[in-house]
Every structure is written in C-alpha cells, then in structure tokens.
Structure 1
Amino acid sequence: MEHYLNFSNTNIWSEIWPELALALAAIVLLGIDLFRKSDKPIVSIGSLAIVFQAGLLIFHLFDYLAWHHTFDRETFSGMLHQGIQGDVMRTFFLLSSLLVSVLGHQYLKNKKLRAGEFHHLTMLATAGLMLLVQSNHFIMLFVALETVAVCFYTLVAYNRESAKSLEAGIKYLIFGALSSSLLLFGIVLLYGVAGNPEAWGANYIGYEGQDPLGFQYLGNLLEANPDHLLLRAGVVLIIAGIAFKIGAAPFQIWVPDVYHGSPMPITAFLAVSSKAAGFFVLLNLVNGPFLGMSEFLMPLLGFVATFTIFFGNLAACTQRNIKRMLGLSGVAHAGYLLVAIMASMQFAGDSDRAVWVLFFYLFIYLLASFAVFGVMTIARLNDETEHEFSHYEDLAKKHPWLGFVLVSGIGSLAGIPPFAGFVAKLLLISIAYEAQLYFSLAAMVIGVVISIFYYFGWMREITFHPKPSFSDEEEEKEDPWLNVPRMGLFKFCMLALAVSSIVLGIWQGPFGDAF
C-alpha cells in the first residue's frame, strides 16, 4: 500500500498542464467541428485553434518567466523530468504549433479541406512532442514518440486529393515503422542486460529494486560497462532510430520524398518540430544515460555529422524542385546540429554553452523555415508539390513584402549577415573550435560554402528581373502570384518572422547572456 501511495504522490499533474490543455482543446475542437452546422459558421475552427494556442503560449511564457514555475525535478515515478531546458523546448513547440495552425488555416481554405482533424492532430502531435522532450524513461520516450509518429502519418497524407501526398504518407509510414523497430530493438537489448546484469556478464552491483529502463540506472550500468557488446549494440540501434527522425545520413532517404509530397504546413512542421525533438532527445541521451560511452560514440557521431553535411549540401545542389531542395538542405542542417551535440559531449559537466547554442540555432531555424514555407503556402500552383525556381522570378517586384519575407528566410538559412542564421552558424563554429572538433568544423565550413550555390540561385530568381525573351513563340508560364489574397494575420506573422530574423542577427537578447 505504501508503494502505491508513494507512486501516486509523484503524479503531479500540474507540471504537465500545457500538454493536458492542448490535448483537451484538440478534443473540443474535433467535437465542435463534428456537431456544428456547416453553413456559414460564425467562427472557423482554424481561428479557434490559433486563438487558443496563442493564449496558451502567452500564458506559458508568463508562467515560466514571471511565476518561476520551472522546477528541476522528476515526476510520475521518474518517467518525466522537468527543468529549464525542457521548458524552453516546450515554448519552442507551442510557437511552432501556432505557426503551423496559421499556415494550415490559409492552406486549408485554398484547398477546401476539413480543418477540424488537421488542427486536432497538430495539437495532439505538439502535446506528444512536449512530453517526449521531458522523458526520463525509455517507456515514456517510446510511447510519446509513437504518439507523435501516428499523428504525422496522417498529417503527411492529409491532402487526399493529391497522389503525391498519399505516396509520401505511405513512405513515411514505412520508414517510420523501420526507425521505431530499430529504436525498440535497441531498448530491448539494454533492458535485457539491465534486468539481469550477471546473466550477461555485466559488471554492476546493487541493481535490485531499480528500474532497468530508467535513465539514471542505465547511465550507471553503461558507465560501468562501456565495452559490453550487447550494450553497445543497443546504444547504436537507439541512435540509429533517432537518426531516422532527424534525417541524418545514412538514414535520410525518406526526407526529400516526404517533404515533396506533404502539405506545405506539415512540411514545415516536420522540418522544425520533428527535427528539434529528435535533437533534444539525442542531447538528453548522450549527456545522460549514454555519457559513459562517450569515447565510443564521439567518432561515430563525427562520421555521421560529416557524411550528413556533405550529402545534404551536394544533393541539394542538383535539385530544381524547391521542396526537395529544402528537404536536402534540412539534412545538411541536421549535420550542423550534430556538431553541437558532439560539442556538448566534449564539455561534459559544463555543457550549458553548447546547449544554448543548439537552442539558439533551433529557434533561428524555426523563424527562417516558417518564413520560407509560409510564402510557399500561398503560391497558387496547379500542383503544390512542383515548386520550381522559375515560379519565383521577380517576386520581389510583384509583391515586395513576400519577396522580403522569402529573402530573409533564405538568407538566414544560408547564414548571410545581417540575418540571424549568420550568428547561429558563427556560434556553432565557435563552439566546435572550443571543443577541438577540427574535422567536423572543416566539414561544416565547406558545407556552408557549398550551400551558397543553391540558396543564392533561388534568391537571384526572387530579386533580379528575368532576362527578356526574344523568341517569337514565348512559352506561357504559370504565374502563382496573380491573385494573392489580402491576409491580415498571415501577413503580420510572416513579416514578424522576417523582422525577428534581422533583429536577432544584430541583438541576441536573452540568448546573449548564455553565450
């Protein structure tokens, strides 16, 4: 009885109130969409989702900054760990979810698709992501990860009228199942050894009564047995499963195809939130339970980071389809972020600076990615998956505000001053140098130089006038910018992203103290 009483005392539900609020609101929105009258509703589902998420984000920030709600403690019998880093990532996911709903509201109106299920799944996926980054136990990690994955399987194939969207959904389902299998197999290997160390020749005493899937216990076990073959195999399989989620080579094969076919807001969601969650989970693992295997993991992660940087940038150079190019450039960014993960391992015990550089890079990547995908969302193409460079010719002249937002997003992704992406890459280079990761540093610099080719090629189409044609039979091209609607909230959000990217490129605000 006492055991169950202690268990219930650790179930502090108030610590996960943002996740509970999101899940409840998702159910309410689905119910409203199901039972309301379809003819001329007073308020759209998209507007309700945006207002709720904006209010939740503001309240969460007020709670975090003014009330100091954050505690560095474990809850739910060690399943979850709350702390300042987790709260920063929860803010990140709430902001990302709000922007996905803003893009989705515009996208769903253009495509005449149902809004209820879209916003329902987006909010549930966000709640899952927020629980995922607080996971302190492999069961919690796997359940949260699969909750997110199931939502994404549906969202990727949400445009049922598009064969490419359905194809992308099938591909994402297959590769997602494969990554989950690798991850689960790795967890099983760790559990098998941790559950009975003597049976597998592991050197660890005092394991009785401890949870063999808890991060703390596994950290002690791995530290005591860094050369154990089964434990190494389990760690490698878990990292391989996470590498699928973040799109790191050689597990990146799904990225261009899924980005190509997904609805535009979901492409942005995958590029930002899914990638960020994967990196934060990896950060927690390599600086937590896997810290005892740092000597084994460092060269492995170094190879993956270098391969990822070169593959992503070189493959992106050959692309004319912009969604595939952005997918492959996202692979390259995954390589850059892996260098930050390695730097945090080098500064074990004093890795805060490397962690905050990683956070800053992720926030800047969010601003730039949503700016780019936001502009692409309102392009009126017969086939939304076929965005070519030629569709953006002279956009800055036709619609100056769209050109400004798009150039600021691309410039930040490329790392061009005065955009914040330049500062993010500079900080990443600095932290890699301090960690003495010279080989990865060289790969990162070369990768940034290569990326200039495809980023500047797109910027040239946007900002410079096309060459005059002297052909008598000039081919009529599809112009996706003829009837751009007036969008108050959408325009405000896009301009805010662009301006924020410039401001953070000059002044880093609260992040500056952490550097």
Structure 2
Amino acid sequence: MNPEFLKAAAESNNWIAIMPELLLGCLALLLLVLEVVLPKNKHDLIPGVAIIGQLGVLVGLIINYRTPFLDPAEAALANFNGLLAYSPHGQFMRMFFLLTSLLVSALGTVALAKQKMPKIEFFHIVLVISAAMMLLAQSNHFVMLFVALETVTVGFYILVSYVRTNPLSLEAGLKYLIMGALSSSLLLFGIVLLYGAAGNPLLPGHTSDAMNFGKLTAFLAQNPDNFLAQLGVVLVLSGVAFKIGAVPFQIWVPDVYQGAPTPVTAFLAVGSKAAGFAILMTLVYVFAPYKGIVIPLLAIMAAATILFGNLAALTQHNVKRLIGLSGVSHAGYLLLGVIASITVPMATSAIYFYLVTYLLASFAVFGVMTHVAGVNDADQELEHYTDLVKTHPFLATILAAGLGSLAGIPPLAGFIGKLLVFIAAFQAGLTWLLGIAIIGVVISIYYYFGWIKAAFFATSPTAAETVARPERTPVSAGIGALLAVLALASVLFGFYQKPVIAWLTAAL
C-alpha cells in the first residue's frame, strides 16, 4: 500500500470519534497504576474509581449523543479508513454496553467481597471488554469486527474462570474456551471465503477491499448465486450464533453460566448477548442480497432456540442454569425481531426496547442472586430462595419484578418488549414463528413462577435445609437503591413506555 496514503489516513483519523473507548482504556490502565502506588489499605477505593469513571463516560456519551463527530464527506477516511462507521445504532449500543459494565462493576463489589481473589484485575478486564464491545458495535470492516470480537471473547475466558479455587469455575472457563475457539474458527473461515470470492478478478463486481461491509454488499448483489459466498455467509452467521447462545451453538450456556461468578454470568447474559445481536443486526444488511439464505437460516435457528431454551429450563433446579437456558429462549425472541427488521422498519426500535427491558429485569434478578449466593457461587439452588419474602422482603420484591418482566407478564416492561417484537413479526408475515414464540412464552411462565413461588409461597424449610442454605449478604444502601431503580424502571416502562419508544424510533 502507498506509504503516503497510510500517512494521510493516520493524520486524518478523528480520534475524538472513539473518545469513550479511549477513556475506558485509560481508566483500565489507571486502576492498575493505583493498585501499585496506593497502600493496600486503600485498595478498596479502586472499584469506586472504576464505577465513577464509567458513570462519567456514560454521562458524557449521553450528553453528546447527537454530536456529529465526523463530516459525512470524510467519513471513509476519518473513520480509520473505513474500519468504523458512526451511526445511531453504534451510539445506542455504546451507551447500552457502558450501562451494562457499570452494573456488572456494581455487582462485582458485592460478589468479590466473598472471595479471596484479586479484585482490581476484575474491574480492569470488565473495562477492556466493554470498550471492545463498543468498537464491535461500530464495526464496518471484518478486520475490526474480528479483532474486537476476539478481545471480548478472550476477556470472558479470564472472567468466567476467575474464581480459580472453584473447580466448576475452571470447568466453565475450559468449556467456554473450547466452544469459543470453535465459533471463532467458523467465523474466520466464513470471512476468508467471502474475501476470496469477492476478490476473484474473474467475477463481476470484484473488489480488493472485500472485508469492507459496503463493498462486500455490492459484490454479493452482483453475484447472487456464488456458492463460496453463500457458504461464507452461513459460516459467519454460525460464528455469531455462538455469541448469542442460539441453537445449535447453545450447549455451553448452562455449564458456563453456572460456573462463572454471578456478575460475569450477568455480563454474559446481557452484554455478550447484546454484542452478538449488534453484530447480527449489521450483518443482515451486509448480507441483504442473500436474504433468501439468511431469512430461512435465522428462522429455523429462532424456532429451535425458543423451544430448546424454554423446554430445557423446565427441569432446572440450579437458578444459574435456569437463567442461562431462559436467556437462550430470549435470544430466540430477539432473532424473531432481527428477521422482521429486514422488511419491517419498526422492528429495529422493538429490538432495542427489548434489550433495554431485558437489561433492567436481568440485572434486578442477578442482583438478588448475588446477595443470596454464598461463597460457593456456583451452588445456587431454588431451595435457597425458600420463604425469601419472610427474611428479605426487599430482595423478594425485586426478584418478583425482575422475573415477572422476563416472563413477559403485563403490565411489566418485558411484556411490552415481547409485544413489540411480536407485532413486528406479524407485520413481516412470520406467522408460524410467532406461534412458536407464543408457545415459548406460555412454557416460560411455569419455571419463572416456580422461582417466585419458592420465594413467596413455599412452606417453611426444615432444620436440615436451613443449615444447608448459604448465608445471605446484607444489602448496602447504594446497591439497594440501584436494585430498586431497576425494578421500578421495569414497572414504569410497562405502564408508560411511549417516551422511550418515541426516542428510540427518532434516534434510530
């Protein structure tokens, strides 16, 4: 490549466009510096620095949400020569990932207090993963997509097995590593096939920059029947399916969710899943010329994911496995929205609203789980929640609000999120998929309400059960306020969601 071009590209890169990611990276390094320079009796202040720093970046991003960082005429060069794309989609997902990492950090202060493990490194890795997710949502090039995705995945390899004294945590880390390597291989093989096909000079519309999403779409439009490109599309979508926990790439979910520390499980359930859908929503437009392959593939995947997730969750007594398999079913509902978004514009805002409601409800539930869990984080059974309302009525109330929203019970926000996705699916003519989704919702009520029943209506535990139950962590004022806000937001958005939906529609 021409050195002068590289020099011009480097000089014209608009670094302020990725200022939030840079700030998170600097904050992550600052935590390590503080660990070295501060005395050990001051190390408890460092997680607070991480939380305050993330909150500051999030506020700054919200204030500058509509700031046009880049001149459209210079976007290709100023956006790091086309590696990134500034868009409302990317801006929304950046705020979503920042809020997710902020909540994970807050739960981390509770969970890590029970473990004799290094603490500062946990928050450091959370920040790095969050910055990579933010870049991932703005990817406009397969090189950026793959590098950002692998940064996220490698970070999760560490976090999943963070409690190295727990065999289940180490087992979860190994399983995630093996399955993650397989998914990365599928994704990379698909990218190579697309690059090779689009770079073939014998084909119409060939390009030397086939990894650029825009140029790849143009090539696919001129070669609708290219077998290598079709295979590449299938493999790339298969690699992304692992990240969202969709069938047939969901087998890792229950074991990894159980073995990982609860805040990491929350990060996987919300952040990693949302990152996968951020990629998928971009790729369905990149692969739009091949929608004859994309739509049936995603439709079959969605149906199988909804049914498997809900049916498998019915028999679970470990709540971490239960919430993991229920998360598989939620991936199926979101896939329904992604398919509808190809032909129905309102489906995009429906997906984002669903993600918001899923974040609120999930972190409310994971917040309760963090306080109910003992030192052995993987051992969280339904029996541990017996008569929770009598001993911790606040936690029981938060749990009921979160689980009710995840189940889609009106008038909670989760019901509105599902309703909007189902409306989009109906408008897209996905009637058979909509029927399967409704069946899935009905099935899910059984296991969600089984959990609520244990907390509210179960008989008093026997003496043996009382001894076996782990000691519950007291709820601090700050964490209590945070959980209350999450639960109240789930209720409020159920009754009064119009401003949020209107903002999403206008912003996106």
**Which residue in 2 is equivalent to 1:195?**
199
What is the letter of the counterpart of residue 338 of structure 1?
L
Once structures 1 and 2 are overlaid, which stretch shifts more, 111-120 or 148-157? 111-120
The yes-or-no answer on 1:318 pairing with 2:315 is: yes
| Shift in Å, 1:88 | 0.5
**Which residue in 2 is equivalent to 1:117?**
121
What is the letter of the counterpart of residue 445 of structure 2?
I
Q: C-alpha offsets along residues 306-358 of structure 1, whole Å, 9 cap, x if unaligned?
A: 001001100011111111111111110000000001001123xxx2x111110
Match of 1:137 among 141, 147, 160: 141
Separation in 2, partners of 1:489, 1:404: 17
| Shift in Å, 1:5 | 4.5
What is the letter of the counterpart of residue 204 of structure 2?
N
Q: C-alpha offsets along residues 113-156 of structure 1, whole Å, 9 cap, x if unaligned?
A: 22210000000000000000100000010000011111110000
1:80 alignment partner, SS class: coil
After the TM superposition, which residues 28-427 of structure 1 pair with which residues of structure 2 at under 5 Å, given as runs?
A: 28-38=30-40, 40-41=41-42, 44-64=45-65, 73-74=75-76, 75-198=79-202, 202-204=203-205, 207=207, 210-287=208-285, 289-347=286-344, 351=345, 353-427=346-420
| Shift in Å, 1:481 | 7.1
What is the letter of the counterpart of residue 504 of structure 1?
F
Structure with more of its chain in helix, by fraction: 2
Separation in 1, partners of 2:487, 2:44: 29
**Which residue in 1 is equivalent to 2:485?**
496
Q: C-alpha offsets along residues 256-309 of structure 1, whole Å, 9 cap, x if unaligned?
A: 11001000000000000100010110110111x201001121111111100010
What is the letter of the counterpart of residue 45 of structure 1?
I
Is the contact made by 2:372 and 2:471 (CA closer than 8 Å) also made in structure 1? no
Is the contact made by 1:380 and 1:480 (CA closer than 8 Å) also made in structure 2? no
Separation in 1, partners of 2:13, 2:248: 40
What is the letter of the counterpart of residue 301 of structure 2?
V
**Which residue in 1 is equivalent to 2:453?**
460
Separation in 2, partners of 1:71, 1:109: 47
Is the contact made by 2:374 and 2:472 (CA closer than 8 Å) also made in structure 1? no
Separation in 2, partners of 1:306, 1:119: 37
Distance 1:70 1:400, change over 3 A: farther
| Shift in Å, 1:111 | 1.5
Normalising by the residue count of structure 2, what TM-score does the alignment of the two structures yield?
A: 0.94
Separation in 2, partners of 1:483, 1:166: 24
Separation in 2, partners of 1:223, 1:343: 21
**Which residue in 2 is equivalent to 1:26?**
28
| Shift in Å, 1:34 | 2.9
Is the contact made by 2:136 and 2:149 (CA closer than 8 Å) also made in structure 1? yes
**Which residue in 1 is equivalent to 2:440?**
447
| Shift in Å, 1:70 | 7.9
Is the contact made by 1:322 and 1:388 (CA closer than 8 Å) also made in structure 2? yes
Separation in 2, partners of 1:297, 1:383: 43
What is the letter of the counterpart of residue 411 of structure 1?
G
**Which residue in 1 is equivalent to 2:17?**
15
What is the letter of the counterpart of residue 358 of structure 1?
I
Separation in 2, partners of 1:111, 1:439: 48
2:447 alignment partner, SS class: helix
Is the contact made by 1:412 and 1:422 (CA closer than 8 Å) also made in structure 2? yes
| Shift in Å, 1:512 | 2.5
Separation in 2, partners of 1:481, 1:212: 55
Is the contact made by 2:408 and 2:414 (CA closer than 8 Å) also made in structure 1? yes
Identity %: 48
| Shift in Å, 1:478 | 3.8
> Which 5+ residue runs of structure 2 have no aligned equivalent?
none
What is the letter of the counterpart of residue 256 of structure 1?
P
| Shift in Å, 1:465 | 4.3
Distance 1:486 1:257, change over 3 A: closer
Separation in 2, partners of 1:371, 1:15: 33
What is the letter of the counterpart of residue 475 of structure 1?
A
Separation in 2, partners of 1:70, 1:328: 41
Separation in 2, partners of 1:354, 1:262: 33
What is the letter of the counterpart of residue 204 of structure 1?
G
Is the contact made by 1:46 and 1:119 (CA closer than 8 Å) also made in structure 2? yes
What is the letter of the counterpart of residue 303 of structure 2?
T
Distance 1:478 1:375, change over 3 A: farther
| Shift in Å, 1:197 | 4.0
Once structures 1 and 2 are overlaid, which stretch shifts more, 182-191 or 387-396? 387-396
| Shift in Å, 1:6 | 3.9
Separation in 2, partners of 1:71, 1:254: 43
Distance 1:231 1:461, change over 3 A: same
Normalising by the residue count of structure 1, what TM-score does the alignment of the two structures yield?
A: 0.93
2:85 alignment partner, SS class: strand
Separation in 1, partners of 2:401, 2:470: 19
> Which 5+ residue runs of structure 1 have no aligned equivalent?
none
Q: C-alpha offsets along residues 6-53 of structure 1, whole Å, 9 cap, x if unaligned?
A: 423541100000000000110110121133221x21752211111111
Once structures 1 and 2 are overlaid, which stretch shifts more, 475-484 or 244-253? 475-484
The yes-or-no answer on 1:506 pairing with 2:495 is: yes
Is the contact made by 2:361 and 2:402 (CA closer than 8 Å) also made in structure 1? yes
Separation in 2, partners of 1:264, 1:376: 7
The number of residues matched between the two structures is 498
| Shift in Å, 1:404 | 1.1
Distance 1:116 1:492, change over 3 A: same
2:81 alignment partner, SS class: coil
Separation in 1, partners of 2:252, 2:97: 23
